[in-house]
Chains A and B, each alone.
Chain A
């Protein structure tokens, strides 16, 4: 079983800071982490490998600071990793990102299963997983919450959709995007950390594969960000304090009034 996982480095959401002047995110490389939702894809892959054997390769596109996150993936038990890093890749939207990742995967790896997180917590699009499936022309199941069974050729998975858990049967090779419910991610082991530290993670550039240059980076991106606003979300609504038993009834009445004013009660 050859498993490939594209992962992304994102700003640590709990530490995100905005430039008050420009409203753009101040990216402090020290506060960059692996997209937390990618951990569920890693865990799913590691469990697959434990049961069926095989190899897990991690791919990422980003600045060289992303090497640290790739080492973390190796420390968890993944086998190999490489980083796509080149000025030409910078500014890519989801169309160009899925082109770049899928081209690198197609030209350098064999794959039975491509696993991704549901979405990255910075861009929040969830579009790269389906995009990769489209580029590679392989089927996809999104929002996978459970792997029900595997017979060597086909997987039965449960997708968490609005109406419930939809069970689908999907053949290899395929793309699965997974949600948090699928597994609890493990921590790296000491042995894994030592192995990861000793390993060399190759950096691939635009010369490493035969890319169509007009599909790369900002130039290859059909979408353009034209404006960034920082919405003021502080609302400072009314607050009722319950300090003694008399306040309790008053709080309940005000609560129900609040709903009544909105015709919700």
Chain B
């Protein structure tokens, strides 16, 4: 195999044999950077039972090459093993840029690998560019709870590594006629670190499992006043096909479980619309929602800071407003349903 050095690389992610959307988002960033650098783009797949059709998708979404390392022992992410493989690939092929998702996998694997290959890593980037003249990667990221945007460079070490926040870009339109190479790289036994065993998975409830990927998130906070009122949030989310979030106050009061928590000590999310119901908008909460495309606030207190960042706000009693919205949704659905029967 001819070795192409100085490529741009993305680390693909998968679950149960399917590539996850972040894999394609990374390829859009990667394509832009590779074109500016006039180099090729490769996607790295470490896993098991990811078929050719899935791997071809990486090419359709912008990759020129795919390096696929597959083995039954790689079904689940184990940091030490994945890190040995990625480290060895980086040392052999010497890419100039390596991008991973700012996901639980990327934010574990890439810092481990960055230490091993002695290079810099920037976390949770929301923008990437190439500096004119030097060709250095410019890594743009929010810090201090989203209060500042920092531009970071890795001037003297290669590869330049970054994790990229999910939803920071849309994937390119897939082109089924794009061609590229899929390289299958055999695994050596000493790459497998058997110290850690993956035992199983306890799934999350469906309202939470989509929190990272949902287009709409409906979140509830202290304004709900009672735990049983959280069902209002869940019903509205269901009507809108949205995921369910919550403020720290709602989680600390035991109204909903921690995986739903949005904000500084919970998740940072970037849905198309974030709907904050009965949430005042403390700076810690805003830190988790600032990269949403749009924010809607429903709150009875017009001076609540959430209105400062809202694109649309309703000042009113949520116990009246939410049922009213649901009533409208149900009426419209009924109307649509009748149209279909005609």
> How many Å lie between the Cα of A181 and that of B256 in the bound state?
12
Give residues 195-246 of A contacting B (CB, 8 Å). Answer: 221-231, 233-243
Interface-side segment among A49-57, A107-115, A139-147:
A139-147
Query: Do B148 and A140 have beta carbons less than 8 Å apart?
Result: no
Stretch at the interface among A62-70, A81-89, A90-98: A90-98
Chain A proximity mask over B313-324: 1 for CB below 8 Å, otherwise 0: 111110011001
Chain B residues whose C-beta falls within 8 Å of the C-beta of A121 in the assembled complex: 145, 264-265
- Minimal beta-carbon separation of B65 from chain A (angstroms): 26
Instruction: For the complex, count residues of B whose C-beta is within 8 A of A.
Output: 99
Q: Which one of A134, A162, A248, A252 lies within 8 Å of B103 (CB-CB)?
A: A162
Determine the chain B residues whose CB is within 8 A of the CB of A156 once the complex forms: 199
Contact A249–B195 (Cβ < 8 Å) = no
Establish whether residues A133 and B112, one from each chain, have CB atoms under 8 Å apart when the complex forms.
yes
Q: Which chain A positions have C-beta within 8 A of B321?
A: 242, 248, 251-252
Chain A residues with Cβ below 8 Å from B311 are 235, 237-238, 258
B307 on interface, CB distance cutoff 8 Å: yes
Q: Which residue of A lies closest to B104 (CB)?
A: A161
Q: Does A123 contact B (CB under 8 A)?
A: yes
Q: Which of B155, B198, B284 contacts A166 (CB 8 A)?
A: B198
Contact (Cβ within 8 A) B193 A252? no
A232 smallest CB distance to B (angstroms): 11
Among residues of A, the one whose C-beta sits closest to the C-beta of B151 is A227
A12 CB → nearest B CB, Å: 10
Q: Shortest CB–CB separation between residue B286 and chain A, in angstroms?
A: 8
Please tell me which one of the listed residues B105, B153, B209 contacts residue A164 in the complex, with CB atoms under 8 A apart.
B209
Q: Classify the interface of chain A: helix, strand, loop or mixed.
A: mixed
In the bound complex, do residue B123 and residue A168 qualify as a contact, i.e. CB atoms below 8 Å apart? no
Assembled-state Cα–Cα distance A129/B111 (Å):
9
> Closest approach, in angstroms, between the C-beta of A97 and any C-beta of chain B?
11
Query: Are A139 and B259 neighbours in the complex by a CB distance under 8 Å?
Result: no
Evaluate whether A139 and B195 lie within 8 angstroms (CB atoms) in the complex, with A164-B209, A255-B325 already known. Answer: yes
Is residue A31 within 8 Å, beta carbon to beta carbon, of the partner chain? no
Main secondary structure of the interface of B (DSSP, over half): mixed
B112 touches A164 (CB 8 A): no
Cross-chain contact B152 with A225 (CB below 8 angstroms): yes
Q: Which residues of B contact A160 (CB under 8 A)?
A: 104, 258-259
Checking B258, B266, B314, B317 against A240 with a beta-carbon cut-off of 8 angstroms, the contacting residue is B314
A142, B258: Cα distance in complex, Å: 16
Measured CA separation A209–B257 after assembly (Å):
44
The answer for the CA separation of A121 and B143 in the assembled complex, in Å, is 9
A142 and B145 contact, CB distance less than 8 A: no
Are B120's CB and A223's CB within 8 A?
yes
0/1 string, A57-83, CB within 8 A of B gives 1: 000000000000000000000000000
Tell me whether A165 and B201 are in contact (CB under 8 A): yes
Q: A171 in the interface, Cβ–Cβ < 8 Å?
A: yes
Whether A21 is near chain B, meaning CB under 8 Å from some CB there, is no
Q: Which residues of B sit under 8 angstroms from A221, Cβ to Cβ?
A: 120
CB-CB under 8 A from A23, the residues of chain B are: 148
Q: Which residue of A lies closest to B300 (CB)?
A: A242
Complex contacts, B151 vs chain A, CB 8 Å:
225-229
Distance of B149 from chain A, by nearest CB (Å) = 4
What is the bound-complex CA distance between A179 and B257, given in angstroms?
A: 13
Contact B149 A229 (CB under 8 A): yes
CB distance A225 to B150 under 8 Å? yes
Is A98 within 8 A of B324, CB to CB? no
Besides A16-B145, A168-B196, A171-B196, 7 other A-B contacts (C-beta < 8 A): A128-B111, A131-B115, A169-B197, A223-B120, A223-B121, A223-B122, A255-B314
Query: Taking beta carbons and an 8 Å cutoff, which residues of A are in contact with B?
Result: 11, 13-14, 16, 18, 23-25, 36-37, 93-95, 98-99, 121-131, 133-135, 139-143, 145, 156, 158-171, 179-181, 221-231, 233-243, 247-249, 251-256, 258-259, 262, 264-265
